[in-house]
C-alpha cells in the first residue's frame, strides 16, 4: 500500500510539537531536518512509530527524520502546507535558528548551501566519470562531437560552481538569490585571470592599482568558503539597507550598494584572506590522508559515518571541490566510499540475522541505498538503533580507508561515491577500488554477524502495536469488527462515561490499551476526525458505522498526546494505522485512558452484539 504522505507529514508535525515548536524545516536527499525550539517537547518514540519514518535522531536542537530517497521530498511538500508553516518550510515564528552555537550555525550554513546542489553535482560527477571511462575504453569516442558536447554539459557544474554556490548560499542566508548569483559571476568573470592559471606568480599578475591598494585581477574558480562569506555579507548588508533606505529609492539603491560593496570586499579582503585559509585547510586534509602508513585515512574512514550522524559531512564537499580544483585528484572520495559501503555491509548482516520481518523489510532497501552512496536509511533506520552494527561499520570503514591510501586511489571528480564512484576512478585502478569496497563491506558484514546479538532492540525503540489484533469485538448481519487497539477487552458498561456505559451511542466494547496505536478495524472511510485527535468516526464499506473514542474527557487535553495518521475523508483498509496516542500522557494528565468502540447505527440491526470474552 502506497504511503500516505499527508498523514506522514501530519504525524511528524504533531510529534515534533507543531508550528509553535518548529523553527525551520528543510530536507536533504533522505532526511527531513527540523530545527526545534525545545527538543524535550518532541515525542521521539511516537515519531519512530509514524508510518514511513525509517529512523529518528536528535542532536543540538535539530531533529533528523529519515524517510528515504524520493519519499522525503513528497512528505516535505505536505509538511509546509500545514498550519504555521510557510513555503520555505519555516514556522511562522522562525528566525530564532540563531540560538544554535556559532560553530553549528556555520556548519549548518554549509549544509543548507550544498544540499540543494547535490543532485546537480551528483549528475555532473557521474557523467564526467562515465565519459572518462568510455573515452579511455573507446579512443574514437574521445575525439567525437558527442564526447565534446557531453563534456561541456558535465563540466559546466564544476566550471561555474561559484555561481550556483553563491545563489544557493543567498537562499540559505535569506537574501536575494539573483544578487548572490551576480556575486558568483563577478568572482569568476572572464576579465579576470582564472585561479587555475594564476599559479603562485602573483607578482606578475595584472591588478587594480587605484583601489587604495593593489588588488590582483584573479578569479575564484574552485573556491567555496570566500564565496559563502561574501554572500553572507551581501545578505546582511541588503537587509540593513532595506531598513534604512527610503522606500522610493530602495528598489534601485539597495541592490546596487549591496552588490558594489560586497564585490569590493570580496576582492580586497574576504577573497584573499579566506582563499588562503581554504587552501591551507585542503592542504591539511591532503596531508592527513597521505600520512605515513595510512593512519589518517584509517581514522577518517572510521569516523566518517559519525560525522554524517552529526550533520557535519557537508564540509567534505568544500574539501573535495578544493582538491579537484587544485590538483585534479580527489583522494577523499575513496575513503568516504569505504565508510559508506561498510554501512551497507552491516545493514545486510542485520537483514540476514534478524527474525523481525518488518526490520528485514527496512534493512534490505536501506542496504541497497547505501550501496549507491545514500547511507542515512541504513545508519538511522538500522545500524545506529542497534549500535553494534554501527561500530562494526566504523571498523570496516577504517580498514577500507587504510587500504585506499595504501593503494594510492583517487577520483577525478566528486558528487557520487561507493559503487557508482568506480566511474570516477581511472580505469587502471578500478579493480583496486572495487577491492577496497569489498574489504570495507565484508569486514562490516562479518563483524556484525559475529558480534550483534539478534533481538537487542530496546524497549524504547519498540513500535507500539505491530499489527491489528485478530480478535472480533463486534458482530452483526453486515459483518464483523476487529479489535482496533491492543489491550484487554471489557464490557462497555464498566466505563465511567454514562454516554457509552448506558449504550446511548450504540452497542460497543471498551479496551484497556496495552499500546498507543489505533488500527482501522474494517475497510471504510474516515467520516469524522476530532481536531484534538481523541475520537475517530468510520463508515465501513459494509455499512457498519463506528465511533472510536480514546480515553474519557480527553477532549480537554487539546490534542496533546495524540497523533493522527490519516486525514478526514480518507479511505482506509483494515489494519491501517489511524492514530497514535500516549496512554502515559493521558494518565499523567489525570484522565482515564480506556478506549471505547461503539457501533453507532446498531439500533438498525437488533442482532448486533458485543464480544468481550477475549483478551490480547
SS (H, E, C) 171-211: HHCCCCHHHHHHHHHHCCCCCCECHHHHCCCHHHCCEEEEE
Q: Which residues, 6+ apart, have CB-to-CB distance to 463 below 8 Å?
A: 48, 49, 358
**Coil, helix or strand for 507?**
strand
Global model pTM greater than 0.85: no
Answer yes or no: is pLDDT of 615 > 50.
Answer: no
Q: Which residues, 6+ apart, have CB-to-CB distance to 458 below 8 Å?
A: none
Q: Which residues, 6+ apart, have CB-to-CB distance to 96 below 8 Å?
A: 23, 37
Residue-level pLDDT at 456: 45
Over residues 4-57, the pLDDT tens digits come to 888 888 888 888 888 778 877 877 667 787 877 777 778 877 887 788 887 787
Angle among Cα 227, 233, 238 to the nearest 5 degrees reads 125
28 a catalytic residue: yes
Going from N- to C-terminal start, the domains of the chain cover: 5-100, 160-289, 293-451, 472-610
Q: Which CATH number fits domain 472-610: 3.90.1150.10, 2.60.40.10, 2.70.70.10, 3.40.50.720?
A: 2.70.70.10
Cell digits of residue 391: 561500530
Nearest partner of 373 among 118, 52, 159, judged by Cα: 118
Over residues 74-129, the pLDDT tens digits come to 888 888 888 777 655 444 344 444 455 555 566 667 767 876 777 777 777 778 87
Cell digits of residue 82: 500545514
Query: Could you give the CA distance from residue 144 to residue 48 in angstroms, rounded to a whole number?
Result: 53
Report how far apart, in Å, the C-alpha atoms of 527 and of each of 192, 474, 505, 512, 560 are: 66, 19, 16, 25, 22
> How large is the average pLDDT for residues 495-504?
86
Q: Which residues, 6+ apart, have CB-to-CB distance to 563 below 8 Å?
A: 10, 11, 14, 15, 43, 46, 50, 533, 579, 580, 581
Q: Which residues, 6+ apart, have CB-to-CB distance to 217 below 8 Å?
A: 191, 192, 193, 205, 206, 207, 208
Q: Using an 8 Å Cβ cutoff, are 45 and 517 in contact?
A: no
Q: Using an 8 Å Cβ cutoff, are 412 and 426 in contact?
A: yes
Query: Could you give the CA distance from residue 122 to residue 71 in angstroms, rounded to a whole number?
Result: 19
Nearest partner of 12 among 55, 50, 57, judged by Cα: 50
Which backbone phi and psi does 540 adopt, to 5 degrees?
Answer: -70, 155
**Coil, helix or strand for 213?**
strand
Highest average pLDDT, of 155-159, 270-274, 392-396, comes from: 392-396
Beta strands in 500-610 (DSSP E): 507-513, 517-519, 524-529, 535-540, 545-552, 562-564, 571-572, 577-581, 592-599, 609-610
333 conformational bin, left if phi > 0, alpha if psi -120 to 50, beta if neither: alpha
Residue-level pLDDT at 199: 57
Residue-level pLDDT at 95: 43
Residue-level pLDDT at 310: 66
549 a catalytic residue: yes
Q: What is the mean pLDDT of the chain?
A: 82
Nearest partner of 154 among 110, 196, 122, judged by Cα: 122
Residue-level pLDDT at 383: 85
Residue-level pLDDT at 92: 39
Over residues 308-358, the pLDDT tens digits come to 776 666 677 777 877 877 777 888 889 989 999 999 999 999 988 887 776
> How large is the average pLDDT for residues 535-564?
89
pLDDT tier at 466, thresholds 50, 70, 90: very low
Answer yes or no: is pLDDT of 1 > 70.
Answer: no
Residue-level pLDDT at 546: 93
Q: Which residue has the higher pLDDT, 264 or 311?
A: 264
Residue-level pLDDT at 93: 40
Query: Could you give the CA distance from residue 262 to residue 268 in angstroms, rounded to a whole number?
Result: 10
Query: Could you give the CA distance from residue 544 to residue 401 in angstroms, rounded to a whole number?
Result: 62
Cell digits of residue 124: 555532473
Cell digits of residue 170: 543567498
Answer yes or no: is pLDDT of 447 > 90.
Answer: yes
pLDDT tier at 459, thresholds 50, 70, 90: very low
Q: Which CATH number fits domain 5-100: 3.30.70.890, 3.40.50.880, 3.30.1360.60, 1.10.3720.10?
A: 3.30.1360.60
Identified catalytic residue from 8, 15, 27, 28: 28
Over residues 76-85, the pLDDT tens digits come to 888 888 877 7
Percent of the chain with pLDDT over 70: 87
Can you name the residues that pair with 35 across neighbouring β-strands?
A: 24, 62
Answer yes or no: is pLDDT of 458 > 60.
Answer: no
Amino acid at each position: 500500500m502506497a504511503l500516505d504522505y499527508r498523514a506522514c507529514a501530519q504525524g511528524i508535525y504533531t510529534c515534533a510539537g507543531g508550528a509553535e515548536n518548529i523553527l525551520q524545516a528543510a530536507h536533504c536527499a533522505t532526511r527531513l531536518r527540523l530545527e526545534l525550539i525545545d527538543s524535550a517537547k518532541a515525542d521521539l518514540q511516537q515519531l519512530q512509530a509514524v508510518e514511513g519514518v525509517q529512523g529518528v535522531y536528535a542532536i543540538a536542537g535539530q531533529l533528523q527524520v529519515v524517510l528515504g530517497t524520493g519519499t522525503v521530498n513528497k512528505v516535505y511538500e505536505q509538511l509546509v502546507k500545514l498550519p504555521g508553516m510557510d513555503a520555505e518550510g519555516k514556522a511562522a515564528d522562525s528566525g530564532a535558528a540563531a540560538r544554535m552555537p556559532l560553530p553549528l550555525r556555520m556548519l549548518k550554513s554549509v549544509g543548507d548551501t550544498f544540499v540543494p546542489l547535490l543532485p546537480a553535482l551528483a549528475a555532473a560527477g557521474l557523467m564526467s566519470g562515465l565519459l572518462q571511462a568510455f573515452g579511455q575504453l573507446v579512443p574514437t569516442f574521445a575525439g567525437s562531437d558527442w564526447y565534446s558536447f557531453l563534456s561541456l554539459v558535465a563540466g559546466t557544474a564544476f566550471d561555474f560552481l561559484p555561481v550556483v554556490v553563491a545563489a544557493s548560499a543567498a537562499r540559505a542566508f535569506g537574501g536575494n538569490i539573483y544578487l548572490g548569483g551576480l556575486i558568483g559571476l563577478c568572482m569568476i568573470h572572464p576579465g579576470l585571470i582564472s585561479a587555475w592559471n594564476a599559479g603562485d606568480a602573483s607578482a606578475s599578475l595584472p591588478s587594480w592599482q587605484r583601489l587604495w591598494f593593489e588588488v590582483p585581477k584573479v578569479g575564484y574558480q574552485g573556491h567555496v568558503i570566500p564565496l559563502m562569506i561574501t554572500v553572507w555579507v551581501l545578505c546582511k548588508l541588503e537587509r540593513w539597507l532595506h531598513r534604512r533606505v527610503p522606500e522610493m529609492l530602495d528598489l534601485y539603491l539597495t541592490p546596487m550598494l549591496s552588490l558594489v560593496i560586497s564585490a569590493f570586499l570580496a576582492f580586497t579582503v574576504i577573497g584573499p584572506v579566506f582563499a588562503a585559509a581554504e587552501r591551507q585547510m585542503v592542504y591539511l586534509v591532503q596531508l592527513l590522508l597521505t600520512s605515513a602508513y595510512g593512519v589518517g585515512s584509517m581514522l577518517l574512514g572510521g569516523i566518517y559515518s559519525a560525522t554524517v550522524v552529526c550533520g557535519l559531512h557537508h564540509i567534505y564537499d568544500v574539501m573535495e571541490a578544493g582538491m579537484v580544483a587544485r590538483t585534479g585528484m580527489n583522494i577523499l572520495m575513496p575513503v568516504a566510499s569505504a565508510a559508506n559501503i561498510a554501512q551497507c555491509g552491516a545493514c545486510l548482516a542485520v537483514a540476514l540475522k534478524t527474525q523481525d520481518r518488518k526490520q528485514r523489510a527496512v534493512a534490505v532497501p536501506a542496504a541497497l541505498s547505501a550501496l549507491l552512496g545514500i547511507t542515512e536509511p541504513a545508519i538511522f533506520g538500522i545500524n545506529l538503533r542497534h549500535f553494534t552494527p554501527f561500530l562494526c561499520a566504523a571498523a570496516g570503514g577504517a580498514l577500507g580507508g587504510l587500504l585506499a591510501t595504501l593503494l594510492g586511489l583517487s577520483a577525478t571528480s566528486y558528487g557520487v561515491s561507493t559503487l557508482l564512484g568506480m566511474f570516477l576512478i581511472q580505469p587502471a585502478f578500478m579493480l583496486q577500488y572495487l577491492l577496497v569496497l569489498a574489504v570495507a563491506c565484508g569486514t562490516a558484514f562479518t563483524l556484525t554477524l559475529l558480534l550483534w546479538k539478534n533481538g537487542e532492540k530496546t524497549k524504547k525503540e519498540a513500535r507500539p502495536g505491530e499489527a491489528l489484533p485478530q480478535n472480533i469485538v463486534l458482530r452483526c448481519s453486515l459483518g464483523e469488527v476487529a479489535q482496533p487497539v491492543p489491550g484487554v477487552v471489557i464490557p462497555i458498561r464498566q466505563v465511567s462515561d454514562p454516554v457509552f456505559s448506558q449504550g446511548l451511542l450504540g452497542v460497543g466494547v471498551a479496551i484497556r490499551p496495552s499500546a498507543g496505536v489505533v488500527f482501522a478495524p474494517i475497510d471504510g472511510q474516515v467520516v469524522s476526525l476530532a481536531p484534538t485527535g481523541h475520537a475517530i468516526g468510520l463508515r465501513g464499506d459494509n455499512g457498519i458505522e463506528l465511533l472510536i473514542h480514546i480515553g474519557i474527557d480527553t477532549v480537554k487535553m487539546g490534542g496533546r498526546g495524540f497523533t493522527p495518521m490519516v486525514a478526514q475523508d480518507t479511505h482506509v483498509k483494515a489494519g491501517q494505522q489511524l492514530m497514535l496516542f500516549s496512554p502515559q500522557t493521558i494518565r499523567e494528565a489525570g484522565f482515564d485512558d480506556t478506549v471505547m468502540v461503539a457501533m453507532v447505527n446498531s439500533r438498525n440491526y437488533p442482532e448486533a452484539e458485543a464480544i468481550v470474552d477475549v483478551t490480547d
